[in-house]
């Protein structure tokens, strides 16, 4: 079982189930001072400098050499608390699959989560729109496919799973850092059948997700708004005609919003 805590994202959540589990619990972190009673901490350098989110996604998706000797592994998001030792259920999840993840009980489809990502400001709406447009063009049916929740993600230590994860990571680099948007497309393209576990995301017999989908939403929004404000202020300090620049920006945003609206209409008509 493994997780990652990079940057100032949030404090490490202890996993008390480790005290009765025969599994190893490994936490990858860039904080040399991080100590834990239930995790073995492994110090790492962020894969993408100044991007702790994607750096944590890299560890989640591609893994780390410290995991190379395991036949099976379970990623657990740091916001999730296990209630049952992983060795009691991961074997069943992977009995006939290379990869397993719970069905998403908050978003039924990829399109639904993408729309929420845009509406809640979880990522740049142009980046998400581009991703949806490409998938709509190249992967028929992808946007209406059943969505998965990867807060818990089990995999085999097989070459098949490794190749699928590499492709998924490439999508996360190319498109949105919201990795669930590309999970299904990447797994399908890699020819990997994913075991869809019928598990209520917020709480089940094997886990709890205390913060739910809002675990990082408020903090992320606050940081993003602050960064955008600072960038705008820097630009306004340099431009000769502030009004002209603002009008140009508004025009670009209007055009982009129209494209998003057209895509949503297309998806609604297709449904």
Which pLDDT band holds residue 238 (cuts at 50, 70, 90)?
low
Report the residue count for the chain: 271
Across the chain, mean pLDDT equals 86
Q: Which fold has domain 2-238?
A: Spore Coat Polysaccharide Biosynthesis Protein SpsA; Chain A (3.90.550)
The 3-state DSSP class for residue 257 equals helix
| Out of 135-149, 150-164, 177-191, 209-223, least confident range | 209-223
DSSP summary character for residue 103: B
| Out of 8-12, 74-78, 79-83, 145-149, least confident range | 8-12
Q: To which residue do tokens 């999730």 refer?
A: 80
Which pLDDT band holds residue 224 (cuts at 50, 70, 90)?
very low
Separation CA 240–CA 244 (nearest Å) = 9
Q: In degrees rounded to 5, what are phi and psi of residue 165?
A: -65, -35
Instruction: Tell me whether residue 117 is exposed, middle or buried, using C-beta atoms within 10 angstroms of its C-beta: 0 to 12, 13 to 18, 19 or more.
Output: buried
Chain centroid offset of residue 25 CA: 21
Q: Where are the domains of the chain?
A: 2-238
Q: In degrees rounded to 5, what are phi and psi of residue 195?
A: -75, 115
Q: Which of 97, 41, 32 is nearest to 66 (CA)?
A: 41
| Out of 57-66, 113-122, 164-173, least confident range | 113-122
Give the residue-averaged pLDDT of 192-205: 94
- Residue scoring higher pLDDT (24 or 116): 24
What integer pLDDT is reported at residue 217 of this predicted model?
Answer: 41
How much of the chain exceeds pLDDT 70, in percent? 79
Q: Which of 80, 48, 38 is nearest to 216 (CA)?
A: 80
Give the residue-averaged pLDDT of 177-199: 95
**What region does 212 belong to: left with phi over 0, alpha with psi -120 to 50, or beta?**
left
What integer pLDDT is reported at residue 96 of this predicted model?
Answer: 93
Chain centroid offset of residue 69 CA: 25
Secondary structure element (H or E) that encloses residue 155, with its range: strand 152-156
pLDDT at 219 over 70: no
What integer pLDDT is reported at residue 201 of this predicted model?
Answer: 92
Separation CA 240–CA 188 (nearest Å) = 50
Global pTM? 0.79
Separation CA 96–CA 80 (nearest Å) = 25
Pairing relation of β-strands 26-29 and 2-5? parallel
Which pLDDT band holds residue 140 (cuts at 50, 70, 90)?
confident
Separation CA 35–CA 108 (nearest Å) = 38
């Amino acid at each position: 079982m493994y997780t990652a805590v990079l940057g100032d994202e949030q404090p490490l959540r202890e996993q008390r189930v480790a005290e009765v589990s025969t599994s190893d619990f490994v936490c990858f972190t860039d904080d040399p001072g991080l100590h834990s009673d239930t995790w073995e901490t492994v110090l790492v350098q962020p894969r993408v400098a100044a991007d702790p989110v994607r750096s944590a996604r890299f560890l989640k998706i591609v893994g780390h050499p410290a995991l190379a000797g395991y036949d099976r592994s379970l990623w657990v998001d740091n916001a999730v608390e296990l209630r049952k030792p992983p060795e009691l259920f991961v074997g069943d999840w992977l009995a006939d699959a290379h990869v397993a993840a719970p069905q998403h009980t908050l978003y039924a489809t990829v399109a639904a989560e993408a729309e929420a990502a845009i509406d809640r400001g979880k990522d740049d709406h142009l980046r998400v729109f581009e991703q949806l447009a490409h998938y709509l063009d190249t992967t028929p049916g992808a946007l209406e496919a059943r969505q998965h929740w990867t807060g818990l993600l089990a995999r085999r230590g097989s070459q098949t799973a490794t190749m699928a994860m590499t492709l998924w990571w490439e999508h996360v680099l190319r498109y949105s850092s919201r990795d669930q948007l590309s999970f299904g497309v990447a797994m399908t393209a890699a020819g990997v059948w994913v075991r869809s576990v019928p598990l209520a995301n917020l709480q089940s017999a094997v886990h709890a997700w205390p913060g739910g989908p809002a675990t990082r939403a408020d903090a992320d929004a606050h940081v993003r708004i602050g960064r955008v404000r600072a960038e705008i202020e820097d630009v306004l300090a340099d431009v000769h005609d502030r009004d002209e620049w603002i009008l140009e920006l508004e025009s670009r945003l209007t055009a982009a919003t129209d494209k998003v609206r057209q895509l949503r209409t297309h998806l609604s008509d297709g449904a």
